[in-house]
Chain A
Amino acid sequence: MMPFEMTQFVGRSASPFAGNQMTDPLGRLKRALAGRRVLVVEDEFLTVDEIALAFARLGVGLIGPAQSLKRAMELLESGGHLDGAVLDINLRGGMVYPLADVLRKRGVPFIFATGYNQEVIPERYRDVPLCLKPIDPLNLVHALFPDSVGSPGSPTK
């Protein structure tokens, strides 16, 4: 697998959402994301608030949010299908990796939303997309569901 490069998202972040395109990229994105359920694990209120607002606009169902590993595990065990997860790495001093392990076992895609850089992330998670803080919610959706938006210039279903 190719190592993930942040520049992918930096480069394409603006274009699919610009309002003056011939197509309707936002509408297309909303249709692609409709009904998806995404767990959000993040201990900072303002970040959660921003993600929640973006999810509401895009029609993405927010599961949680959870501000601690314990709460996140409870949400996970309480059932319900998950299409993806957004994980802050450091949660009130605890690390999110045990949750990431469970998600990986269940085949739920996830991304890290964090101020950490790639070097401090354990080897086994080096291929997980990283959204650096401050979070751009649209970048985040791109990173989590690359299939929903396609690459710039490529035909989209």
Chain B
Amino acid sequence: MVTWKVTVREDGSRHLALEWRESELKLRNSSDTEKRRFGRRMIEEGLPYQLDAKTQFAPFDDGMLCSIEMPLGYERRAGGDDAI
């Protein structure tokens, strides 16, 4: 299940907070030294590098919660100062 919300801070900056909750998983041993899979590297390395995201994985009983937070830039003001 994926849920998300967008918040606007006082300085007008917008931020996305997304949660991806996956249940009924058979998780591999976390001590697995095998090279991490592409998807996980994209989330843990790619999103922070390219989108300034903060990402986190948290296992729960039969699943995994992936949290992603990232800046979305600034809110457009009414009247469109930034319109070209």
Contact = CB atoms under 8 A, between A and B. Distances in A.
Interface residue tally on B, bucketed by range: under 10
B50 interface: yes
Interface string A44-73: 111011000000000000000101000000
Nearest to B52: A67
A109 B76 CA distance: 41
A16 to B, nearest CB: 29
A43 B50 CA distance: 6
Interface stretch (B8-16, B41-49, B58-66): B41-49
Interface in B26-72: 41-42, 45-47, 49-50
Nearest to A68: B52
Contacts of A67: 49-50
Interface centre among B42, B45, B47, B50 (most CB of A within 10 A): B50
Nearest to B48: A45
Contacts of A48: 49
Contacts of B50: 43-45, 67
A38 B47 CA distance: 24
Contacts of A65: 49
Nearest to A47: B50
A82 B42 CA distance: 29
B17 to A, nearest CB: 21
Nearest to B46: A45
Contacts of B46: 45-46, 49
A149 to B, nearest CB: 30
A45 B55 CA distance: 15
Contacts of A45: 42, 45-47, 49-50
Contacts of A43: 50
5 contacts: A45-B50, A46-B46, A49-B46, A65-B49, A67-B49
Interface of B: 41-42, 45-47, 49-50
Interface of A: 43-46, 48-49, 65, 67
